[in-house]
Amino acid sequence: MPELPEVETTRRGLAPHVEGRRIQAVTLRRPDLRWPIPPEVARDLPGQRIQAVRRRAKYLLMDTEAGSALLHLGMSGSLRVLPATTPVTAHDHVDIALAGERGHAGRVLRFNDPRRFGSLLWQAPGQTHPLLQGLGPEPLSDAFDGDYLFAMSRGRKAPVKTFLMDQAVVVGVGNIYAAESLFRAGISPLRAAGKVSRERYAALADAVKAILAYAITRGGTTLRDFLSPDGAPGYFEQELSAYGRGGESCPRCGRPMKQALVGQRTTVWCGYCQR
């Protein structure tokens, strides 16, 4: 499933092409994706100008005066800005037609999702969609640091990897980037969250920020079906130190990397370098 860097890559790719453009029409080729598509999407978006494309956690919000389209890419979803004449393929479920401006021909923002685990929902002005309520801070924000993690972790017996992936603690740190951050910080994913020191949480917060920021510059991580809006894959996968490397040599000490299920997620770590 696309994680925060992939979603942020998508946002940055889309924004220059859609912000400020007026929506001509919305075409829904099916009434639902993961959940039913609310009637406001087709009823209220046409005629509106796109004010901004934002990201909250792994969701994209396309803001207009009438409200915001709330999109999640699911496991296989992609958003592409294409010429309006581009032929429709089997899994092109949603088209948002954009008016041509400043000498440009009309284009379409197309949502393709073969597995239909993605979603297209609606957030009314001045409201916060239930899926966005109760979320923790953004990991690249000033609100996320070692002191915050230390305070949130006190008394927690769950493994620190499970704690780090809790969206109520911090958003957008999924399995890949949790594994990579713990490896960089030298912390075992099995250690109880409440047993990690303030100093080690400072190192972990720094690792999360550095790895996410770098992954964004590299276009995210290509796993399964993810493509950025220009059709190019992300390249951070080629530089993974821990995720998916169970049984391989640790890039630091050369010992075999361990692998186990932690919170029902495959977890890889070095039993020597991570304590």
Active site residue ranges: 2-3, 58, 265
Q: Alpha-carbon distance 139 to 167, whole Å?
A: 11
Task: Measure Cα distances from 102 to 64, 105, 177, 212 in Å.
Answer: 20, 9, 41, 36
Identify whether the C-beta of residue 113 lies closer than 8 Å to the C-beta of residue 77: yes
Q: How many CA atoms lie within 13 A of 148 on its CB side?
A: 16
> How far from 197 is each of 159, 178, 213, CA to CA, in Å?
14, 18, 24
Nearest to 184 by CA among 203, 165, 166: 203
The radius of gyration computed from the CA coordinates of the chain, to the nearest angstrom, equals 20
Instruction: Dig out the tokens for 66 from the structure.
Output: 């009438």
Contact present, 14 and 109 (Cβ < 8 Å): yes
Helix H or strand E segment including 15: helix 4-18
**Going by C-beta distance under 8 Å and a sequence separation of 6 or more, which residues neighbour residue 104?**
none
